[in-house]
Amino acid sequence: MRQHPGTANRVWLAILGLVCLAAGIWALLLASGTLGPAEDPVLSGPPEAVTGPDYAPVAALAAGLLLGLLGLWWILAQIPRSLTAGPFRLQEDAARGITVCDPSVLAAAVQHETEHIPGVVGATALLRGSADEPDLTVKVTVNARADIRAVVDQIQGTVAPHLASALETPLHSLGIQIEASNKPGLAGSTVSSTGTVVY
């Protein structure tokens, strides 16, 4: 599974929205004369009298660099990243010991069980995330006689619960990719075309 910067986007959009809202309210109050007489100019003297002749360019440059760095960070955050999966700690009670399991071992068990579903001619499984929030992606290759709905139902109703039972926690997310292939299945059937269905 891939991690997308949805939380960061929502936070920054909320901040920008509040800044724009505050600026709009300030401009409205200024135009209506609430902050002072509307006929008076905002600046009664030259700009240097408010900003200072020595600090204005430096402050503008610093603000521009800060905004540029924040914008660059935001753009880089849009790149989807794969969730790395280290060894899963299934038991962390110091009195009982620590139980660690490699995610590839669990993924191999999922793959083996998926390959025994009728109509499936091949499967690969990838387990990411953590032992508390595991993410499972299964890519399944089926033959012409496979009932795709039945394959998906069996993965969701049998394979995934077996993994959740082994981890003693529900799956955080489950991704299933179904691919039709001309490989001969268990019954020796083939298909004349290929394609991919993402569920």
Q: ∠ at Cα 190 (186, 195), nearest 5°?
A: 115
Q: What is the pLDDT of residues 81-102, one digit of tens each?
A: 655 566 776 666 656 667 777 7
- Decide if 117 contacts 153 (C-beta within 8 A): no
**Structural domain count, the chain:** 2
Q: Do 140 and 163 reside in the same domain of the chain?
A: yes
Helix axis angle, 103-115 relative to 160-167, nearest 10°?
A: 150
- Enumerate residue ranges in the chain where pLDDT < 70: 1-5, 35-56, 80-86, 89-97, 183-199
Q: What is the mean pLDDT of the chain?
A: 75
Instruction: Specify the pLDDT at position 168.
Output: 81
Domain hosting 40: range is 2-81
- Decide if 133 contacts 172 (C-beta within 8 A): yes
Q: Do 75 and 101 reside in the same domain of the chain?
A: no
139 three-state secondary structure:
strand
Whole-number Å distance between alpha carbons of 127 and 162: 14
Instruction: Specify the pLDDT at position 2.
Output: 53
User: Which residues make Cβ contacts (< 8 Å) with residue 184, sequence separation at least 6?
Assistant: 121, 143, 190
Q: Do 150 and 72 reside in the same domain of the chain?
A: no
Instruction: Specify the pLDDT at position 109.
Output: 92
Domain end point (choices 23, 46, 81): 81
Q: Do 194 and 137 reside in the same domain of the chain?
A: yes
